Structure 1
Amino acid sequence: MDDHPKASSPSQSSCRANVARACRRHGCRVVVSLAVLLIPFVAICVLNSSVHPTTRGFFCNDDSISYPKKPNTVSDPVLLIICIGCPLLIIILFSVSSIMTLFNCNSHHDERSGNPVMCGLSRRLDVPLTWNDLLCQCYWFILGFVLVCFFTETGKVAVGRLRPYFLDACQPDYSKFNCTNEKGFPLYILHPGCHGKSGDIHEARLSWPSGHSSVSVYAGVFVMLYLEATCIQKFSSPLKVFLQVIPATLAFLCCLSRISDNAHHWSDVLSGTILGASVAVTTVFTLLSFVRNKQSSLTTAERNTLL
């Protein structure tokens, strides 16, 4: 009996080499993708824990920072759950629906070309979706969300604008400084000697831009554009409009609550809205461009194989 192992054929060696190259290539992509996601996340943690916001003073007669502090209508945990959980749920549901629809459409062929019919986002972009595409869509949404938070926190720390309730949080001792000079002109008070809680004072210096507004608008605009790209069947138009109106309304109400809660100035909310909408538009168009690039890289045989 021959105990020597059989030598691998050239085709088997070539297959193993191709698999090894593919694993290295995909492994590098995963590492780079995680690094791109973790770098701004770590920066956010550093900004929140170690960086003190720019110290800005005030005038004693400044009514814009003399409002009382009120509890948040939309708490941070609720904001994160809604703005992260709901869009991801929508992405998963519609992506799974598109993927599963491909199997149903596989039995139907175009009368002219004879190719399988594609549906949902696959039909809009003329390229079939896979489970890997689902992960990519979730990744792009999370990356955009992290970038919105990074830009927001950077702006808060760099600008250090005082919130409308700053004086209530600071509780300055007016007996220790003069609000006007000898000629009666108001003085710019840079170090008022606050007696309030240090955490409240720190938070009261982080007004611009509004984080609630930027995050909620990002999630709302992303969902609206994503649904516009995925829901193309005529029967789904009412459902699409309904699902688009809900996030837009919630984002609008969240923005209004920041003003009514005396947490932000109206310009803070407007800036956060512009920031969130800009990142959402960029993220969605980048995602759609990614799927279109996939279509250009697939041959007809490969597309039919995926279907």
Structure 2
Amino acid sequence: MWGLSFFRNFKGIFAQDRMREVQLGAHTIRSHGVAVAKTHKYDWLILLLLMVIEVILYAIHPFYRFVGKDMMEDLKYPMKSNTVPVWAVPMYAVLLPIAIFIAIYFRRRDVYDLHHSILGLLFSVLITAVLTDAIKDAVGRPRPDFFWRCFPDGKDLYDELGNVICHGEKGDIKEGHKSFPSGHTAWSFAGLGFLTWYLSGKIKAFNRSGHVAKLCIVFLPLLIASLVGISRVDDYWHHWQDVFAGGILGSCLYGLTVATFCYLQFFPPPYQTEGWGPYSYFQMLEESRASTQAVHAESELNMQAMEAQNANQQDERSNNAFMGLTLARDSSPASDDVENGRR
């Protein structure tokens, strides 16, 4: 019986340790990073394909829309530098969220959360970038400063059809036909929108506890994205329609839509009870619970089998003792004398 109790306790301790390892994040980059990446190798290949497509869309010439002299009244805004430089966009829309993901990883030690958040973010940004640049190239709308891009010396020239004959820098002219929609705005809402979803889940913003201050953290990335969109109008790189009608209502909507779809591929909605972790984390918990139940069931069966075996052994011992006592009594000389005397 002592061995049976030890076996049961050992199985219970093993099951508890297994569950605790899953809950505390035993799946780290070192232990499971390569396996997780291999599981999603096709997703990473699609990401590389999206990168190639984005490079091609950025390199090709957009549609050179007809621009007549009477249209120049709305295209004579001065050329200004970007308040938010192009190189800064991936810094705050991609690298900043990844830095937050890494910080949370060091706290939770869950490689699934880190991998899926980075993968979802990159999908969100790259899908949005491909959509944005594809629309830019197809529409070819002139920027508000197109006149000075086309005629840097201020001397305009037109052909017999009334279309512009630009003599400015080729790169400036090419970029001058990419007004709609706003790429800065789309990238900002795609990356920071994904971060908004992520933070909403991690801080449990919708757990009905009444902590309204959490919403300030949730809305902060969206506020930054909105200010970036407004800066595009202030810099005369986009018409107000590009940002507000096409950006805030267009880039914002499809940027957030793409971010939402990408986020929900890996994480539950933040308003759910389990919205703080990735699907894979809870799948591991379910697998661990199933294995724990199997271990308990096996231990119970083994225990019942051992108890039945012990009971059978005890019965056999009792039967053997009773038979031995009977035989000894029957073969005893005293009993023979008594029997003879009675006869």
Task: Give the alignment's TM-score, normalised by structure 1.
Answer: 0.69
Identify if the C-alpha distance between structure 1 residues 175 and 82 changes in structure 2 by more than 3 Å, giving closer, same or farther.
Answer: closer
Give the corresponding residue for 2:279: 292
Match of 1:77 in 2: 87
Report the equivalent of 1:222.
194
Q: Relative to structure 1, is the Cα distance of residues 77 and 162 closer, same or farther in structure 2, using a 3 angstrom cutoff?
A: same
1:246 to 207, 220, 241: 220
Q: 1:259 to 1:304 in 2, by over 3 A?
A: farther
Deviation at 1:27, TM superposition (A): 7.3
Shift of residue 134, structure 1, vs aligned partner = 1.5
State how 1:238-277 maps to structure 2 within 5 Å.
240-269=214-243, 270=247, 271-277=250-256
| Structure 2 CA distance for partners of 1:30 and 1:292, relative to 1, 3 Å | closer
Residue aligned with 2:266, SS:
helix
Change (3 A) 1:232 1:272: closer
User: Residue 173 of structure 1 contacts residue 193 of structure 1 at CA under 8 Å; is this kept in 2?
Assistant: no
- What are the Cα deviations for residues 153-192 of structure 1, in whole angstroms up to 9, with x where unaligned? 11111111111111110018545546xxxxxxxx652xx2
Partner of 1:56: 65
Superposed CA deviations along residues 229-269 of structure 1, whole A, max 9, x for unmatched, are 11128899466333223212211110100011110112322
Tell me, yes or no, if the aligned pair for 1:227 and 1:240 is still in contact at 8 Å: no
Unaligned runs of 5+ in 2: 1-31, 269-276, 294-343
1:232 is the counterpart of 2:212: no
Sort the Cα spacing of 1:83 and 1:226 in 2 relative to 1 into closer, same or farther, 3 A. same
Q: Do the aligned partners of residues 167 and 302 (structure 1) sit closer, same or farther apart at CA in structure 2, a change above 3 Å counting? A: farther
Give 5+ residue unaligned stretches, structure 1.
Answer: 1-21, 101-129, 179-186
Give the equivalent residue in structure 2 for 1:111.
none
More displaced stretch, 156-165 vs 272-281: 272-281
Matches within 5 A, 1:79-228: 79-97=89-107, 99=108, 130-171=110-151, 173-174=155-156, 176-177=158-159, 189=163, 192-228=164-200
Larger helix proportion of the pair: 2
**Alignment partners' CA distance in 2, 1:77 and 1:26:** 31
Q: Distance in 1 between matches of 2:144 and 2:91?
A: 27
What's the % identity of the aligned pairs?
A: 25
How many residues are aligned here? Answer: 243
CA shift, 1:281, in A, is 1.5
Secondary structure of 2:134 counterpart: helix
Contact kept in structure 2, 1:173 and 1:194, CA below 8 Å: no
Separation (CA, whole Å) in 1 of partners of 2:148 and 2:220: 35
RMSD: 3.1
Pair 175,141 (structure 1): closer, same or farther in 2 beyond 3 Å: closer
Question: Whole-Å Cα distance in 2 between the matches of residues 30 and 141 of structure 1?
Answer: 14
| Counterpart residue identity of residue 241, structure 2 | S
AA aligned opposite 2:181: P
**Structure 1 equivalent of residue 10 of structure 2:** none
TM-score by length of 2: 0.63
Highest CA radius of gyration, 1 or 2? 2
Deviations 1:35-63 (A, max 9, x none): 111001001111222x2111101231222
Is the contact made by 2:190 and 2:255 (CA closer than 8 Å) also made in structure 1?
yes
Task: State how far apart, in whole Å, the 1-side matches of 2:36 and 2:82 are.
Answer: 44
- Which protein, 1 or 2, shows the higher relative CO under an 8 Å CA cutoff with sep ≥ 6? 1
